[in-house]
Chain A
Amino acid sequence: MLGKGGKRKFDEHEDGLEGKIVSPSDGPSKVSYTLQRQTIFNISLMKLYNHRPLTEPSLQKTVLINNMLRRIQEELKQEGSLRPGSPAASIEELCPTSTSTEARGASGGAGAGAQRPEGPQDGRADDPKLMDSLPGNFEITTSTGFLTDLTLDDILFADIDTSMYDFDPCTSASGTASKMAPVSADDLLKTLAPYSSQPVAPSQPFKMDLTELDHIMEVLVGS
């Protein structure tokens, strides 16, 4: 994967993609900025999901990637550059509204897990592992927010149309750029709504607890 002295095919694309960041406001360079941003968004998603190590992934790395995704999402939100209907529609299609009757409400579950009171940490000989199962959760709950079931499908089922999330940055020069419509945070929210019994407020978008995720995985893998 790493270039051992040889030229890497990404080089050709690099010059357009790297270099100083262009202001998003000027005309033609806005496309290049958007392209750059979309590529980085895709790479970030891939990083969170393609990587299933035997050991716990680095929390620092996960946090940095999540921050990157959040920043991009904030920008997208502010720009409001979404084509209403189409991305959300494809997502609905891929992820049928199967019920999750046994799943607890999203905000309730995650909230309780995160806010379990923690006493002072003297005498930590008693098991801190029980005290905090969140490191694993952190990776799953926050990143599933960005993931959505759509991207899980990308990885698990190759025959599903993934043109909207074309991960190959090298071919994204011109033709596929139009297909990579950025999906706004609001659309992602709509996909999560069927899976929670409580309405999910826009300000707390991605609370999905482990049980729900398990259920969703079951649905996707079992079907």
Chain B
Amino acid sequence: MFLKFSLRSVFNGAGGGNDIQWCFSQVKGAVDDDVAEDIISTVEFNHSGELLATGDKGGRVVIFQQEQENKIQSHSRGEYNVYSTFQSHEPEFDYLKSLEIEEKINKIRWLPQKNAAQFLLSTNDKTIKLWKISERDKRPEGYNLKEEDGRYRDPTTVTTLRVPVFRPMDLMVEASPRRIFANAHTYHINSISINSDYETYLSADDLRINLWHLEITDRSFNIVDIKPANMEELTEVITAAEFHPNSCNTFVYSSSKGTIRLCDMRASALCDRHSKLFEEPEDPSNRSFFSEIISSISDVKFSHSGRYMMTRDYLSVKIWDLNMENRPVETYQVHEYLRSKLCSLYENDCIFDKFECCWNGSDSVVMTGSYNNFFRMFDRNTKRDITLEASRENNKPRTVLKPRKVCASGKRKKDEISVDSLDFNKKILHTAWHPKENIIAVATTNNLYIFQDKVN
């Protein structure tokens, strides 16, 4: 199937972040910005890339499906159209604390496909749910005992026997909750990650990480607990966690102090002692009041190969080799021009924004979001980077996106944007890269943009 794609597909390796010309493909969502419930809170491709799921602040999940390539019109990859929409979580009330539990979907993770149905895990702050999404394109017709509308016939009028047959019907996609994993997290869940054994998964909140079996909902195992005996001694929280893509006993978790711990579940039942601790010593020339806050890691993602992991902190993206704990092997500055604005960003809370990051299919390019609806890509091979904007202004399909540049200080060149003009309300926190192709999904506040590389 891959042979049909252009030579600039990812497997060729030549498709670096800057050899590619990114084009607008689609935008989903309302034009006006005001509906809070529509704020996209997570974006995730499934393992084949055919399905793209988004979760929003209102607890809904919307799944898009890529239409199969039209052989005649091979100028673009298939478009993504709505496949299924369902309400995953509802708001709840915690009576003990007199606080609402938000229905906002924090994360979605797909299970690999085993049969005709698709499965995904979605989570809010407290409860994880396993959803089954299945298609129905046939229905039984010709019941013996029922009328077509479902009413039962008077048995005395039944004189012949006939067996219902399946006849085609319009495709219906149904989502049903198959498991609900509740009451295991006192604090807010920030991550879920499915193990490579495809039988277990972990869920992480601010202070604890639990291990679940997908079939069992009334029990989970606590594998990390960093809650101090005296809560007043709490100075560090867990910010993200992920299983290793190949090694089913290994996982990592990141902290608000900029450290990443790799744990091996074979070592002990409670993995409070890490196998490896990844931490870069602080650069003394960059010290400020905000050093700790900007070192807090907002996302951690293993490379597909499993050899590297990537972390995102407020100003940079770092690539770590799992064999080297004392410093990252690569560091990319996302928006260094914000370093002199940290006090304002602390005041308006932007410094606490949690940006995610992602790898492309071949682990050669990484991507993350920024402000002003900008997002950035870093090519690890060529060491070049590019800044693009997700905006409805460039919304003609196959329009090549123009690179953006922020002018940090001094004379602003034409087409550059000065730091003071950046809109900090327009933040791109969630991005996803198709596992095999050069198709990316970028979420602005309440719109989802899909970009593709230029074909032909």
B341-380 at interface with A (beta carbon < 8 Å): 341-344, 346-350, 352
Knowing A21-B288, A64-B352, the reply to whether A56 touches B97 (Cβ < 8 A) is yes
Q: Which of B172-191 contact A (CB under 8 A)?
A: 183-188
**Residues of chain A in range 78-135 having any CB-CB distance to chain B below 8 Å:** 110-111, 114-115, 120-125, 127-135
Give complex CA distance A14, B423 in Å. 17
Q: A54 to B97, Cβ gap below 8 A?
A: no
Contact of B423 among A5, A60, A68 (CB under 8 A): A5
Q: How far is the CA of A56 from the CA of B189 in the complex (A)?
A: 13
B interface secondary structure, majority? loop
Chain B positions within 8 Å of A124 at CB level: 183-184, 210, 219-220, 222
Shortest CB-to-CB span from B122 to chain A, Å, is 18
CB distance from B268 to the nearest CB of A (A): 12
Closest to B291 in A: A21
Do A122 and B102 touch (CB < 8 A)?
Answer: no
Cβ contact within 8 Å between A18 and B225: no
Enumerate chain B residues within 8 angstroms of A135, measured Cβ to Cβ. 97, 186-187
Q: Is the CB of B292 within 8 A of A67?
A: yes
On whether the beta carbons of A39 and B343 are closer than 8 Å, the reply is yes
Tell me if A30 is interfacial: C-beta within 8 Å of chain B.
no
Q: How far is the CA of A135 from the CA of B98 in the complex (A)?
A: 13
With A18-B342, A135-B187: A142-B232 Cβ-Cβ less than 8 Å: yes
Which parts of B123-178 form the interface with A (CB within 8 Å)? 125
Q: Known: A59-B187, A122-B220. Is A18-B344 also a contact (CB below 8 A)?
A: yes
Q: How far is the CA of A131 from the CA of B207 in the complex (A)?
A: 14
Q: Is there a chain B Cβ closer than 8 Å to A179's Cβ?
A: no
Q: Are B347 and A10 in contact (CB under 8 A)?
A: yes
Identify which of B232, B236, B296, B420 gathers the most chain A CB atoms within 10 Å of its CB.
Answer: B232
What residue in chain B is nearest A43 (Cβ atoms)?
B347
B-side interface residues, number (CB < 8 Å)? 60
Q: How distant is the Cα of A114 from the Cα of B362 in the complex, in angstroms?
A: 48
Contact B420 A11 (CB under 8 A): yes
B206 at the interface (CB under 8 A from A): yes
Contacts of A47 in B (CB 8 A): 349
Give A132 to B414 CA distance when docked, in angstroms. 57
Q: Are A43 and B341 also in contact (CB < 8 A) when A7-B420, A138-B232 are?
A: no
Within the complex, the shortest CB–CB distance from B285 to chain A, in Å, comes to: 8
The residue in chain A whose Cβ has the minimal distance to the Cβ of B222 is A121
B218: Cβ under 8 A from any A Cβ? yes
Chain A residues near B188 (CB, 8 Å)?
56, 58-59
A184 touches B (CB below 8 Å): no
Contact A68 B292 (CB under 8 A): yes
15 contacts between A and B (CB under 8 A): A10-B347, A14-B341, A19-B340, A21-B287, A56-B99, A59-B206, A60-B296, A63-B237, A64-B296, A115-B229, A121-B208, A122-B220, A124-B210, A125-B183, A125-B218
Further contacts, 16 of them, CB under 8 A, given A37-B289, A129-B183: A3-B420, A4-B423, A10-B347, A14-B344, A18-B340, A18-B343, A36-B343, A56-B188, A60-B237, A63-B236, A64-B292, A111-B230, A114-B232, A121-B220, A124-B184, A128-B183
Interface residues in chain A, defined as those with a beta carbon under 8 Å from any beta carbon in chain B: 1-5, 7-8, 10-11, 14, 17-21, 36-37, 39-40, 43, 47, 54-56, 58-61, 63-64, 66-68, 70-72, 110-111, 114-115, 120-125, 127-138, 141-142, 169, 206-207
